[in-house]
Copies of this chain bind each other. A is one copy, B any other.
Amino acid sequence: MEKAFLPLLYLVWSDDLLSQKEVSILNTFFTENTILTDSEKKNLLSFIAVSNPPTRETLAFWKTEIFDELTQSPQIRSLFGLSLQLSGNDARFENLKPEFLELENQLGILGEEALLTFRSAANTQTSNLETLNSFDVKALQSILEGDTAGIEKQVRDLLQRPEFKYANTQETDSFREKVLDWCRILANEKLGSMAFPKEFGGGGNMKAYFAIMEALSYHDLSLVIKFGVQFGLWGMSVYFLGTEKHHIKYLSKIGTLELPGCFAMTETGHGSNVKGLETTATYDHKNQSFVINTPHPKAKKEYIGNAAVHGQMATVFAKLIIDGKDYGVNTFVVPLRDTSGNILDGIEIGDCGRKMGLNGVDNGTIRFHNVTIPKENMLDRFASVNNKGEFESPIPSDNRRFFTMLGTLVGGRIGIPKSALSAMKTGLTIAIKYSDNRRQFGPDGGSEVPILNYRIHQRRLFPHLANSYAFHFSLRYLTDRFMQRSEADAQEIEALAAGMKAYVTWNVRDSLQECREAMGGKGYLSENRIGDLKNDTEIYTTFEGDNTVLMQLVAKNRLAEFRKEFGKLDIGGMITYVFDSAKTALSEKNPYTSRRTDDEHLKDPEFHLAAFRYREKNLLSSAAMRIKKLVDGGMDAYDAFNVVQHHMIDVAKSYLERVILEQFLSKIETVSDASVRQQLVRQQQLFALNLLDKNKSWFLETGYFEPPKSKAIRKAINQLCWEIRTDAVALTNAFGIPDSLLGATVLTEK
């Protein structure tokens, strides 16, 4: 009879969660019980004496007895059943069932679960997941690379050469020189000038240039930023803002890196609000020259790449002043150093010093003390000073001219998210491969389990993996749109680029954060690269336009488009807009669909698209309505836009998410290999469902989802993650990042 209590006694003495309080519960139970004999009581009480606990050996003996019983009776499914068996099916014990179950409760023991302590459970579902190869990785890789596969391979091959071994990022000076050396190698391979016209030694291939940025970003990101400063910002500003005389004079030297230069726009006092720049370029009629000047310390150029050490010239953004009159911000080529690197008269250089990351880029400050440059140094594609010393421009508005100039440089806002995406892929590859190898915890009696088998670990990493696929295709789409842009869609593409830059870089930030944490201490060691990836991309959310500011711009652009399309707003028109113009949305927004929770529906791309579109339209029109109401109520429009800033971010996000989803789906349409297609479909489903889940409060608020639906979506995500687990490693292999570029020690050490 006493044996019946062995499992309970064992649990009380061994469970690390139970406290000695339980001992006193047992004490009361044994003492007050009327079925047990005095001798049985005495024996049982002796086992729970705190002053004289069972020995370690006794505990081990109990466990063996219990284990043997369970092995002989595998059908046992409850603690009571086990105890009854141990009692030799004693009828007295059977009568004790209600009290025994009550005792279980008091002790907080869940009988079925507790059985696990005694049973070998090595063969759980969780233990059984492992990496498979269920599809053609190379086929998927070639879909990802598309028509730039050749140049990407060229870059990857180059980066695997010994001279591209990762550098010591701690020693700023040597790191900066190393990065410059790397850039020279790339220049020698004619990669830097890829987008320049062929007549100036370039490759005449802008699309290939973007592919180079993407592939380079599997390597150290200081390299890609230095490369981008030289060939993208410095080179492209001369190309797009200058005219033939500048192209002839500078472009081929920029492409060979004979002439390192800067893009000097941002000032200490004006970063986001670049229209307010204060550097001046004053026209000198007598000498037909400009005098470049920094009027006060806060007007100095800041964060300028190539400025601290290497730059010999700079495209300087400055307000043009003729005869005391301000003609708005224009651009000028200003020499900073001679060819030996000596700083020229009137130029004052500061060093931004150590940054969180990108320490291979020599960011600096530039202050101009009345520096004279010849008239021809004005980059005069959009404005010039004629021979009479008069201002001339085909674009009369200073404001519009400035934004037209910036518009030509939108390529930077495409290169940045592409670079960020590569960093994200690297991070995910490292973290997922590590998690596939790393084992920790496991069922009692079984081996430890790869941490990638844990649901929470899957939920942390896989939605980011799905995002990386989604972003990949939409950034390719953006690139193609950019390549084919015309005046008619230029502004749409500029807004899309600004939005994608912000949306992608924020998501990359989050994904690398998860990678770091998912790798625990290993993620914190520099040798595993997550830290560098995180810290280098940290500033991606700020440079080329602060993300928050960009998202406001994107939303304003959407509002302007919306007004053009739908005119004067009223509530009736709004409702018509939201419901009528989105027939699918309408069919979704009925009690039946808002409650549908079946798998087929939840995974249906038509459902995803309808929901994304409904959200986009609704957020946009409600933002327009809110602003109108505030302004109608007498609020200043500036204040009104401040009130809705938070809403505007959602307007922009919902627009971008719809575009990303559409592009993902339209890419999938083109994939013929069934197993590869299935992989992409799963990624698309996870991408869409994850966003529906993230935004579910909005869908619940609008009634588009009923609660059972949002719960079903959560469950579907967990299930998708579970299914993706076995293919996750292969899905990162399809990114095609060479091991030497991954460079994470933990993936190679034994």
Contact = CB atoms under 8 A, between A and B. Distances in A.
Contacts of A640: 113
Contact of A718 (B397, B560, B646): B646
Contact of A108 (B172, B460, B563, B703): B563
A632 B115 CA distance: 13
Contacts of A402: 16
Contacts of A18: 560
A410 interface: no
A524 interface: yes
Contacts of A440: 270-273
Contacts of A513: 509, 513
Nearest to A14: B397
A556 interface: yes
Contact of A701 (B398, B530, B535, B707): B707
A490 interface: yes
A711 interface: yes
Interface in A692-731: 696-697, 700-703, 707, 710-711, 714, 718
A636 B125 CA distance: 8
Nearest to A456: B645
A245 interface: no
Contacts of A20: 487
B707 A702 contact: yes
Looking at chain A's contact residues, is the secondary structure mostly helix, strand, loop, or mixed?
helix
Contacts of A564: 105-108
Given A54-B396, A105-B563, A170-B172, A636 B517 contact: no
Contacts of A701: 700, 707, 710-711
B56 A391 contact: yes
B636 A297 contact: no
A58 interface: yes
Given A524-B539, A535-B356, A456 B548 contact: yes
A645 B455 contact: yes
A403 interface: yes
A264 to B, nearest CB: 14
A113 B303 CA distance: 35
Nearest to A698: B697
A396 B56 contact: yes
A443 B636 contact: yes
A448 B272 CA distance: 12
A116 interface: yes
Interface string A81-122: 000000000000000000001101111111011011000010
A602 to B, nearest CB: 16
Interface in A8-24: 13-21
Interface string A473-498: 00000000000000110110000000
Contact of A538 (B59, B352, B403, B524): B524
B491 A520 contact: no
Q: Which of A444, A490, A638 has the most C-beta atoms of chain B within 10 angstroms of its own C-beta?
A: A638
A455 B644 CA distance: 8
B636 A124 contact: yes
Interface size class, chain A:
35 or more
A101 B568 contact: yes
A736 B643 CA distance: 32
Nearest to A700: B700
A178 interface: no
Contacts of A353: 525-527
Given A104-B568, A701-B710, A702-B707, A397 B13 contact: yes
A126 B456 contact: no
A132 to B, nearest CB: 19
Interface in A132-188: 170-172
Given A121-B638, A516-B538, A645-B455, A112 B631 contact: yes
Interface in A495-533: 509, 513, 516-517, 520-521, 523-527, 530-531
A170 B700 contact: no
A750 B631 CA distance: 39
A3 to B, nearest CB: 18
A643 B456 CA distance: 9
Given A490-B19, A568-B101, A703 B707 contact: yes
Nearest to A542: B520
A567 interface: yes
A638 B443 contact: yes
B535 A520 contact: no
Nearest to A110: B563
Nearest to A702: B707
Contacts of A711: 701
Contacts of A531: 355-356, 535, 538
A542 B14 CA distance: 27
A328 to B, nearest CB: 9
A666 interface: no
Contact of A16 (B16, B400, B561): B400
Contacts of A441: 272-273
Contacts of A491: 17, 19
A547 B539 CA distance: 26
A639 interface: yes
A459 interface: yes
A696 B315 CA distance: 50
Nearest to A745: B353
A399 interface: yes
Contacts of A355: 524-526, 531
Nearest to A54: B396
A539 B557 contact: no
Given A13-B396, A563-B109, A646-B459, A272 B520 contact: yes
A41 interface: no
A590 interface: no
Contacts of A19: 487-488, 490-491
Contacts of A517: 541-542, 546-548
5 closest Cβ pairs, A-B complex: A105-B567, A356-B531, A108-B564, A697-B697, A14-B397
29 contacts: A13-B396, A13-B400, A15-B399, A16-B399, A19-B491, A20-B487, A56-B393, A56-B396, A56-B397, A105-B564, A105-B567, A106-B564, A107-B564, A108-B560, A110-B637, A125-B639, A126-B638, A270-B440, A271-B440, A272-B440, A355-B524, A355-B526, A356-B526, A356-B535, A513-B513, A643-B718, A646-B718, A700-B701, A702-B707
